Amino acid sequence: MKRLTTFLQILRLSLTTIGYSLFGLSFSWFDKGHALFYKHGLRYAEAILRIAKINLVVEGREHLQEGETYVFVANHVSIFDIPAIWVATAPSLGGRIRIIYKRTLELIPFLGWELMASPFIPIQREKMRRSVESITSAVGAIQEGASVIIFAEGTRSRTGRLKEFKRGGFHLAARARKPLVPVAIVDAHKILRADSVELHQGTIRVIIGKPVPPPEQDDRIVERMLMKHIHAVIASMLPEDQQPM
């Protein structure tokens, strides 16, 4: 019975993703300001959490100011991180966020096609020139009034424990001169564990920390100090089983 329920949930999640992707593609060619994308995308994120029977608990939303734009730095433990953080920040940001994602996700049918048509920003870390282009696009997005979400570990943690950060997000903050907001995503890895296709009903907590001023200058040493500070802040907000070893 449990396997049948899981199968039906995954089927609903897949069909929902396909449906929303196709609908998003249908208006992408005239949605120049991305207003429809943000409205449509937020509904998709809410639908994904609802179908997976995820209870979302948000803490620290009072730290965000309406009208301000931020560089959010979050840990990455689950495919549900993106819908969770999108819904968590929507009341303050109106859903206007841009996520930096791995370009390889564009290979996924339907979802990948929608990503390519979206205002989200692909990154190809193996190629330095492409990475610089992604950072430049993200700076432009912030200047246009959108916040950016970066999963600073680069790849999803398969154990749920916080990994070391990569520098890109902090270089972005230095160039954009925007506050960094540490975000801890708690227990998302328990919903769908690594190397498993079994969904578990549960709660995801998104803890939004206090914004940290950006570096005053684009300096590698300063950026690395800031990176270590944000890493320590996020680690302190995570439960013991998600803290670094």
% of the chain exceeding 90 in pLDDT: 41
Conformation bin of residue 136: beta by default, left when phi > 0, alpha when psi is -120 to 50 = alpha
CA–CA gap between residue 89 and residue 60 (Å, rounded): 10
Interval 61-68 mean pLDDT: 89
Domains and CATH numbers, the chain: 2-242 (3.40.1130.10)
Conformation bin of residue 81: beta by default, left when phi > 0, alpha when psi is -120 to 50 = alpha
Condensed to tens digits (0 to 9), the pLDDT of residues 161-215 reads: 999 998 776 777 777 788 899 999 999 999 987 677 778 889 999 999 999 988 7
What CA–CA distances, in Å, run from 77 to 6, 14, 144? 20, 20, 29
Q: For residue 128, name the pLDDT band (cuts at 50, 70, 90).
A: very low
* 232 and 73 Cβ atoms separated by less than 8 Å: no
